[in-house]
Amino acid sequence: MNKILITRKIPQKFIEQLEQIGDVVMWDKELTPMPRETFLSEVKDATACFITLSESVDEEVLTEASDLKIIANMAVGYDNIDVVRANDHDITVTNTPDVLTETTAELGFTLMLTVARRIIEAERYVQEGQWQSWGPYLLSGKDVHGSTVGIYGMGGIGRAFARRLKGFNTRILYHNRTQNPEAEKELDATYVSFETLLKESDFVICTAPLTPQTENQFDSKAFNLMKNDAIFINIGRGAIVDETALVEALRNHTILGCGLDVLRQEPIDVNHPLLKLDNAVIVPHIGSASRLTRDRMVQLCVNNILAVLNHQLPITPVKVNN
């Protein structure tokens, strides 16, 4: 009999689907990750594993999990999994691309507008009773319309973000691992070097995955190249940003502000200096957090597990080069 391990609490309707092919063992908490020790213990005899970004699948896990056939990761990114070693162990790894693209782009756009128009500061200003009168420049922000927007990472989410700019009469620049002629034609976007993107953009949006090439890409040098009234938005991965350099850039007004959905360490420490800055807006990795999209992500994980355990091809396998 198959044992299917699920490391976060998900709705019963999905559990029932998996119970048709195996015994389901689920961590019963939605907001608290399964402890590492528990994960290692439970994965030992699991046939399938439904995980989130909170779980790290390394050689220790793969060695223990001798019966494992599939790891279904509830995310697009898979930097929490050693995919090459998993494949060496004949374990299929799947992710959840496409189903969260539009929702994540919407969150990125929300962050851009929120930081640009200083919404968090303005709401706090009212709540704290500081609003005494209208002022000509009270909480004045930055226009998105007519601006230059640079997108770092023109994959699905980057393109979805760019589509949302059409009504704002913006100039769209992008930098990607490879040039994307289709995106250029569809979006009227211009491919530029990373340095040019930083120098010319009023808004810099990071949607890139974490790879050895993108890690720490936004460092002191990058922020120093940006305009001093530029706004930086990250909906990619936290480790793409040198957070010490970002804090310095915000404190010194090297850039105007930032909006972050992802951090190097999640959850962020309550004493992190970013949380003490008025020009930083931080949300708890909610890029794909609409009910419909999260349901679709869970269902895709379930469908991948059902396919593999029924000796069929996975729907969205992760493929990497050795």
User: Which residues form the catalytic set?
Assistant: 237, 266, 285
Q: Are 240 and 261 in contact (CB under 8 A)?
A: no
Hey, what are 144's tokens? 């998105």
Cα–Cα distance, 14 to 203 (Å, whole number): 40
The tokens 């050795």 sit on which residue? 322
Cα–Cα distance, 118 to 228 (Å, whole number): 16
Q: Are 267 and 285 in contact (CB under 8 A)?
A: no
Phi/psi of residue 248, each to 5°?
-60, -40
- SS (HEC) of 264-295: CCCCCCCCCHHHHCCCEEECCCCCCCCHHHHH
**Residue 126 parent element (H or E):** helix 119-127
